[in-house]
Structure 1
Amino acid sequence: TFKHLMCMEYSTLAIQIESMKDFLAGPDHLFDILESSLPRIAEIRKNYSDAVVLPSASQLPPASGAPGVPTADIGGRLAKIKKVGWLLKGLKHSLGKEDPRHHETPQANLSPAEARWFSLSRLDGATVTTAGNNGVAYRKRDRELAERLLKETWALQKEIAERFDDLRDTYRAAQPELVSRESWKKIFE
């Protein structure tokens, strides 16, 4: 969760929130939502810039620069110690208000290998090339959105923890129905 927030992957958190809600609704409703889940998730993703793929970073103004932001992996024998410092810098930056200029002009254009939490957590806006190299996503830091998603995630995680024993029993009792060929046959007919 924190890593997704630091990487400005808000759509990922929104999808995780939906999956927790579906889990809490219980196994009886799983088959009912199978057909509608993919369109529902696609609709949710449209609301987050990190899920919108642009053909190229050239469709945006040139990157303004991000001095002091590491783009290479923090490796070596002292990697864990170095990452503590970058974590503190990233958290400090994340707690401040984002600069809206970087929602129009990215600070950096990053490859998937460069788009790590210790880089993105220090930026307010950056393009990240998709893993399939078919475009870029423009990730824009939004402190209020991050806070809202984090609070909702924590509330759902708390509810799952509180109801876990009952949920486990409910899902175990539903297992024969969930894995039966007859149930799945209805879906694919």
Structure 2
Amino acid sequence: MDPFIEAEKATGHNVKRACELLQVSQTAYYARRNGVPGPRAVRDAELTEQITTVHQRSRGTYGAPRIHAVLKREGTDCGRCRVARLMRQAGLTGRHRHRTTIPDPHASTRPDLVLRDFQPDFSALDTRWCGDITYSRRVVGWATADHLRTELMADALTAACRTSRPARSVIFHSDRSYQDTSCELATLAAKFSDS
């Protein structure tokens, strides 16, 4: 944008109008041109120092929401999106402690028909499906919820069967979480294999 404004200025056009057309503030343009950081850049640098301090105090575990909460508690006025942006620019990330794969000790053991082979076989589409609550190689069915109960997996499997309507048997492979090894999901899978 600055080269365009410079060109407009060199040809005698109004810098103010060029800035308005490009939706750039004149103050920011002149600050960049003169090499002087603007007030926002100065404030961003100050906030980045505070964010880094809080991040270090948390031993690198806090992400943007928690750092924002700490800054707010300490009297620093800034938005969570700004904290997230400054953390990205500084290369700071929090750690996630979510453990979703919790085996059900009472579930019956089922054989691994996929034999841990997750390579796609394009000559045999719709013969192996994999399920997980958080990610998948190719999503054939999905569901969202504010919980991690079995109904979430059941809704995703139902959606997959309705969407893809495989013409032959499909192996549904999932991790060994409580939701995936539940009787409810096994009953639902059996219902689809009978239909």
TM-score, scaled to structure 2: 0.23
**Structure whose residues are more often helix by fraction:** 1
- Structure exhibiting the larger radius of gyration computed from Cα positions: 2
Which structure ranks higher in relative contact order (CA pairs < 8 Å, sequence separation ≥ 6)?
Answer: 1
